[in-house]
Structure 1
Amino acid sequence: MSCQEKSRSQSARQVITGLERLSLRVSSMINHPVAQTQRWVTIHRLDTDGEREWEEVMGLLAETECIDMTFNDDESVTLRWEPQIEEERVAVVENLFEVAMEQTAPF
């Protein structure tokens, strides 16, 4: 591969935003088979999770009717939900994070 091809390949890559990264991590945790069996998951805020992104995702989760949130003393958040039909649960989680991905940065 020539230097020019490498450059084009690198510029074609999409850069994932902090909000997208956090949303994907939370979605993956919610959809994990163990979380689905126990119907709860605890999400810890990582050093790489920005304040604005964390608040945005927690706000979206708080607006979701089927999810109960508990804010823990260690600043983690435990999500609990009742069993639902698979299609309904997946649709709720996907819709939640589609909203996050569609919002533009305020700057």
Structure 2
Amino acid sequence: MAKAAKQVKPAARQEMSSVERLGLRVSSMINSPRAMERCSALIHRLDSDQDADWDEVMGRIAETDGVNMIFQDDGGVLLEWEPPSDEDRVLETGDIELIEEPAPF
């Protein structure tokens, strides 16, 4: 007897909202290697960016401590921030093997 082929339903694809798309675009600009090196990023506003979306994302950025926002004549925003101090930096452990020692008691 031949086995019936299983029908797999495709996963429901959830669309991103326009604010999420804008936030993702801005986040990728901020997290680019060049922006991280310079501690600044110039965020360009696209014609397709809705006013409410732009205002919401810029409002969230404005609430972030240590970030200066300089609004440009062309509608873009220059973000500047202080480089992280040694206390703020996260050390990557990479492939270091953690050794678990027994408790001394």
Q: TM-score normalized by structure 1?
A: 0.69
Q: Compute the RMSD of aligned alpha carbons.
A: 1.6
Structure with more relative contact order (C-alpha pairs < 8 Å, separation 6 or more): 1
**By percentage of residues, which structure has more helix?**
1
Q: Secondary structure at the match of 1:12?
A: coil
Q: Which residue of 1 aligns with 2:74?
A: 74
Q: TM-score normalized by structure 2?
A: 0.70
CA apart distance, 1:86: 3.9
Q: Secondary structure at the match of 2:70?
A: strand
The answer for unaligned runs of 5 or more in structure 2 is 1-6, 91-105
Q: Which residue of 2 aligns with 1:35?
A: 35
Is residue 58 of structure 1 aligned with residue 54 of structure 2?
no
Identity of aligned residues (%): 49
Aligned length: 81
Q: Which residue of 1 aligns with 2:96?
A: none
CA apart distance, 1:83: 0.6
